[in-house]
Amino acid sequence: DTAVSQTPKYLVTQMGNDKSIKCEQNLGHDTMYWYKQDSKKFLKIMFSYNNKELIINETVPNRFSPKSPDKAHLNLHINSLELGDSAVYFCASSQLSGVGTTDTQYFGPGTRLTVL
Amino acid sequence: KQEVTQIPAALSVPEGENLVLNCSFTDSAIYNLQWFRQDPGKGLTSLLLIQSSQREQTSGRLNASLDKSSGRSTLYIAASQPGDSATYLCALNYGGATNKLIFGTGTLLAVQP
């Protein structure tokens, strides 16, 4: 009965490859997020989708493309992987109750991506 | 620029001590603030959420306070236990419609048995 799940948990790949990370939430939330945690453990927002619509798109290389087939899923596809993409990627979800009123964000276990 | 700083970066205390973790922010126009804990190799677990109109929230041995005028939040842990050892992160929500979180730098806590 995992709330926010991600697959795979670990991903090791060569530079230049294309890879995807999947995220699913069973909390009935309408908003999902991707965060990146770098080697210094600093967490930063990358993307956010609300009801399958992109609402946050930080300064992220366009090699990163999120896709939300439905509001319970938000996948992250990365093209032409680079060494600097090595990090832990976290998916999260929450319920937006209206402007200025937001609920707790629930995080997945993370996907550790290593680019060789 | 919205910056969030946590002091200290690391803290080691003996079991049973009460302790305070600090979070400072430069832009006080927040909607809410969340405290998370992160265990090694794991995801984040939400501990407490304080809305901008609130001064504090309590859950068990944890108490979080918010002082927007001084740009500070504290997380108080009473009677610390070895199981409290983790990294503690504060995160500020500035965009109510987007719920975007700006994370602090984290405090690594070690509670010695």
d(CA B67, CA B47): 18
Q: Which residues of B touch A106 (CB under 8 A)?
A: 46
Nearest to B98 among A48, A92, A109 (CB): A48
User: Which of A27-31, B3-7, B75-79, B92-96 shows the lowest per-residue confidence on average (mean pLDDT)?
Assistant: B92-96
Confidence band (pLDDT; 50, 70, 90) for A102?
Answer: low
Q: Which residues of B touch A109 (CB under 8 A)?
A: 42-43
A46-93 confidence digits (pLDDT tens) = 988 888 888 877 878 889 999 999 989 999 999 999 999 999 999 999
The helices-and-strands tally (H runs, E runs) of chain A is 0, 13
Nearest to A102 among B32, B46, B102 (CB): B32
Q: Are A83 and A74 in contact (CB under 8 A)?
A: no
Pick the more confident residue, A105 or A20: A20
Residue A97 confidence (pLDDT): 61
Nearest to A100 among B31, B103, B106 (CB): B31
Select the residue from B23, B32, B44 to test the A interface by mutation, using most A Cβ atoms within 10 A: B44
Could you tell me which residues come within 8 angstroms of residue A104 by beta carbon, excluding any fewer than 6 positions away?
Answer: A94, B34, B46, B49
Could you tell me which residues come within 8 angstroms of residue B95 by beta carbon, excluding any fewer than 6 positions away?
Answer: A56, B31
Question: Is residue A100 pLDDT above 50, yes or no?
Answer: no
Mean pLDDT comparison of A73-87, A101-115, B94-108, highest-scoring range = A73-87
Q: Which residues of A touch B101 (CB under 8 A)?
A: 35, 45, 105
Contact B103 A100 (CB under 8 A): no
How many other CB atoms sit within 10 Å of the CB of residue B67? 12
Residue A62's region, left for phi above 0, alpha for psi from -120 to 50, else beta, is alpha
Q: Which residues of A touch B105 (CB under 8 A)?
A: 42
A5-32 confidence digits (pLDDT tens) = 999 999 999 999 999 999 999 999 988 9
Q: Are B96 and A100 in contact (CB under 8 A)?
A: yes
B39-91 confidence digits (pLDDT tens) = 988 889 999 999 888 999 999 999 999 999 999 999 999 999 999 999 999 99
Question: Is residue A96 pLDDT above 80, yes or no?
Answer: no
Q: Which residues of A touch B97 (CB under 8 A)?
A: 55, 96, 99-100
Tokens of A19: 């890879």
Contact B100 A56 (CB under 8 A): yes
B17-33 confidence digits (pLDDT tens) = 999 999 999 988 888 89
